[in-house]
A and B are shown apart, each in its own frame.
Chain A
Amino acid sequence: KNEVEQSPQNLTAQEGEFITINCSYSVGISALHWLQQHPGGGIVSLFMLSSGKKKHGRLIATINIQEKHSSLHITASHPRDSAVYICAVRGYSGAGSYQLTFGKGTKLSVIP
């Protein structure tokens, strides 16, 4: 069973700061997801990656398969980025299932 650890658990930043959230996992995976959960509870998928790096606007996600580690970076953070960021990994399960194992999340608060 894959263990997914995120750090930090809580993060407070000033608006404009560069933010990094880390995720490590214990067993080899087929893909890793970064998700954003808003205070109301809804979940939005930010990235799915299996190697290298992806960028979308101010968000950058990287993954190092050999080290079993991924990072989510937010450049020029803004109060609207305040949310819980969740790392989830997909193992090599049976064809078509793509079960995800989730981390506990990182709660980000960006202060104006």
Chain B
Amino acid sequence: EPEVTQTPSHQVTQMGQEVILRCVPISNHLYFYWYRQILGQKVEFLVSFYNNEISEKSEIFDDQFSVERPDGSNFTLKIRSTKLEDSAMYFCASRPRLAGYEQYFGPGTRLTVT
């Protein structure tokens, strides 16, 4: 069964460094999402992406965040200058074009900012 994959599974970085989290959505899906979950807290929406542009973003998704689909298969989340509070699990998800379909989640990348 096709699945969403994410790399790396765990990333440790120093405060102020840039990180890129990578996702490979399911191949025929057209809508893409990033979510984050700070340890012990609920999952939060960051951004949705369709037709090579952001379709919606949350208050969390400020100027230090960006997303890109550079090559038609990868979907990336870049954090330009990481802060301690960016430490969280980041989930990618994708959905087919048709309405009424569920989102499929990746296994997540645990980001630790020291």
A contact set with B: CB distance below 8 Å: 31, 33, 35, 40-45, 48, 86, 88, 93-94, 96-105
Q: How many A-B residue pairs have CB under 8 A?
A: 60
- Determine if B43 is an interface residue (Cβ-Cβ < 8 Å): yes
A48 to B101, alpha carbons, bound, how many Å?
A: 8
User: Given that A33-B102, A42-B105 are contacting pairs, would A94 and B55 also be in contact in the complex, using a CB cutoff of 8 Å?
Assistant: yes
Residues of B within 8 Å of A96, CB to CB, are 31, 48, 50, 55
A33 to B103, alpha carbons, bound, how many Å?
A: 9
How many chain B residues touch the partner (CB < 8 A)?
Answer: 25
6 sample A-B contacts, Cβ–Cβ < 8 Å, listed by A number: A41-B108, A42-B107, A43-B43, A97-B56, A100-B35, A105-B42
Residues of A within 8 Å of B105, CB to CB, are 35, 42-45
Closest to A35 in B: B105
User: Given that A99-B56, A105-B42 are contacting pairs, would A45 and B104 also be in contact in the complex, using a CB cutoff of 8 Å?
Assistant: yes
A42 to B56, alpha carbons, bound, how many Å?
A: 24
- Determine if B22 is an interface residue (Cβ-Cβ < 8 Å): no
A104 to B40, alpha carbons, bound, how many Å?
A: 9
Asked if B95 contacts A43 (CB within 8 A), the reply is no
